[in-house]
Copies of this chain bind each other. A is one copy, B any other.
């Protein structure tokens, strides 16, 4: 794996894992009022398109990190739904 691929993976881990603190905070406080459902739906669309783009360009960092982000966004939507009455 080339240096630039590794750098791309680190970039993708950063932009994807930036969803984690929000996810952890939501689980801990059981509050998700300040989190927009719309934001996550738009992001899911974006992640799916990026995965398609990554496959078309054979770009491993784009494919792998958008799969990661897709999983985290789905998890966040589940918690948003779970804590909807608080």
* Interchain Cβ contacts under 8 Å between A and B, 26 examples: A4-B56, A8-B50, A10-B49, A11-B47, A11-B50, A11-B53, A14-B43, A14-B46, A15-B42, A15-B50, A18-B39, A19-B39, A20-B39, A21-B38, A21-B42, A22-B34, A22-B35, A22-B36, A22-B39, A25-B34, A31-B34, A33-B34, A34-B34, A53-B61, A57-B59, A62-B62
The answer, yes or no, to whether A40 is at the interface (CB within 8 Å) is yes
Known: A7-B52, A52-B7, A53-B8. A46 touches B34 (CB 8 A): no
Verify A17–B34 contact, CB threshold 8 A. no
- Give the residue name and chain of the B residue nearest to A38 (CB): B21
